[in-house]
Chain A
Amino acid sequence: MNNVMAFFKKEFKSFFISPIAYVFITVYLVVTNFLFFQGFFIINQADMRGYFSLLPWVFLFFVPAITMRSWAEEKKVHTLELLLTWPVSDIEVVLGKFLACFCFLTTAILLSITIPITIVAMGNPDMGPIVGGYLGAILMGAAYLAIGLWVSSNTENQIIAFILGVVATFILFMIGNPFVTMVAPKWMVPIFGYIGLGNHFESIQRGVVDSRDVIYYLSIVGFFLFLNVQSLGSRKWE
């Protein structure tokens, strides 16, 4: 556990050493606020449904940007060789990196607190869906992060890690989307619907926190972190 904390601290700090973190958070907030408030006054309803329905799409690009560096950089500058010869288990390093990315993304998500504050000031929103929406966003973000980290562990090129991260999360997101489920064979529809990254988010953001949805996201996280440990274990590079 000490090792997990050591890696967590190092990784989390490294976000803020360079300007990347500040640029990321600023752009994230500006983009989501702009897209949300564009429609907010037209619809003229005091809720955040518009905001949360943006997130699965926004995360497609923002989350791989957080994770692309994690492993690709370690491999590129060969610090991975150092790291894996220290007395730490692969799982500890993977968890440390995941937690750092998770806390960073959560920080960015929670900084959009100005939106609910604005809405409360202007109307009388139902707080259930808003709290649920934030919880769902954090869970969904965690799933995206785990996928992005795994992709990053398979390349030493950050750009490739980013693009493949977008592609991987996009596929897993689209699988459950009506676009796909409408044309997919009948028997596959419930499976696709269950696997799809976005579907569980929709039910949480209605304010219904169902344990099945929480379990879904946690198992996606667990599965991809497991793959991440595996790809470290294989040491195929070089």
Chain B
Amino acid sequence: MSSTNAPFMLEVNNLNKKFGDVHAVRNLNFQIRKGEIFGFLGPNGAGKTTTMRMVTCFIPPTSGSIRIDGHDTATDSLSVRRKIGYLPENNPIYNDMTVEEYLKFVAEIRGMKGDRQTSRIRELFAICGLTKTADRQIGKLSKGYRQRAGLAQAMMHDPDLLILDEPMSGLDPNQIIEIRNLIKKMGQEKTVIYCSHILSEVSATCDRILIINDGQLVASGTPEELTSRSARGNRYIVRVKTDRNDAEAAFRSIPGVSSVAITAVADQWLSAEVVVADREDIGESIFKCVVDKGWSLSELKHEAASLEEVFTQLTRG
């Protein structure tokens, strides 16, 4: 649902945070439009959590400004906090309360009373799959259920901006799919910021991604834009029965191919890695080339550049 001209939900300008000598966030600039699911990526210790803490008004920036739906976090923190639903890293939660007591408490803080409170809590129980655990003490629940209670807390007031810091930690694959669908559903109307270092998660869920490393922005764009930046590009793995030099020469002559490497030879079979510069689909050309030469073909596989590669390139060294 992200439209390119929707108004900004979050604007971060020249954001800096120093802890003593440690420069945790440096000159960060980015904007998020309303209705986007925004992935915030970076290796551990890159400054993701610090940035989110500043966005949620937990700690003040050293310099720079943050505006949420037009409200500045420094001067209008209460309005900002009313708009935000936040699930911090590691899901801090009051372990001695039951799920229902906790959500009632959160609802009260969010200014919900009476019937509205009861119906919203019942709704959240259904959405997050907590109905059966309503009376259980949070500390005695499994990590997955605690995570759901934390998520219910963040979604209590149907926030305009939902910030989730590593929301999938401790969840099993089924729960991950459930929560992912939940996030996508939220993202149809609301803005979601999703911090993670799990790339497959982010690329499956987010409309736009920002990668930070060492407190600095290193890349941003849609998942497709980012993967196209990969130095290794698109690849085809071809396994044919022929001579090494013949194969190399033949594949190199296909238009669009930027390089060919023979990766393995066994008996007369050899595996070639054919790299394409653009996002061009040359599967058919490769197949025709093999057929023309009369070689036997046992494998032809397309490998798209992955976000992992881009991430590693950008955040290492």
Contact = CB atoms under 8 A, between A and B. Distances in A.
Contacts of B82: 87
Nearest to B150: A82
Interface stretch (A10-18, A138-146, A162-170): A10-18
A2 interface: yes
Contact of A85 (B57, B93, B96, B108): B57
Contacts of B78: 87, 89
Contacts of B111: 2
Interface in B82-101: 82, 84, 86, 88, 90, 92-97, 101
A235 B86 contact: no
A6 B105 contact: yes
Q: Interface size bucket, B side?
A: 20 to 34
Most central of A78, A79, A80, A81 by chain B CB within 10 Å: A81
A77 B82 CA distance: 23
A84 interface: yes
Q: Closest 3 interchain pairs by CB?
A: A78-B92, A6-B108, A85-B56
Contacts of B84: 85
Interface string A69-93: 0000000011111101111110000
Given A14-B97, A17-B97, A78 B86 contact: no
A24 to B, nearest CB: 16
A78 B96 contact: no
Given A14-B97, A77-B92, A78-B88, A84 B58 contact: yes
B59 interface: yes
A88 B92 contact: no
A77 B108 contact: no
B110 A79 contact: no
Given A2-B111, A85-B86, A10 B105 contact: yes
Contacts of A230: none
B95 A77 contact: yes
A145 to B, nearest CB: 21
A87 B105 contact: no
Interface string B30-68: 000000000000000000000001001111100000000
Contacts of A10: 94, 97, 105
A10 B98 CA distance: 12
B197 interface: no
B81 A85 contact: yes
Contacts of B97: 10, 14, 17
A9 B59 CA distance: 27
Nearest to A5: B108
A3 interface: yes
A14 B96 contact: yes
A89 B105 CA distance: 16
Interface in A72-118: 77-82, 84-89
Interface in A160-203: none
Contacts of B57: 84-85
Contacts of A85: 56-58, 81, 84, 86, 88
A149 B56 CA distance: 25
Contact of B96 (A3, A9, A18, A86): A18
Nearest to A78: B92
B227 to A, nearest CB: 34
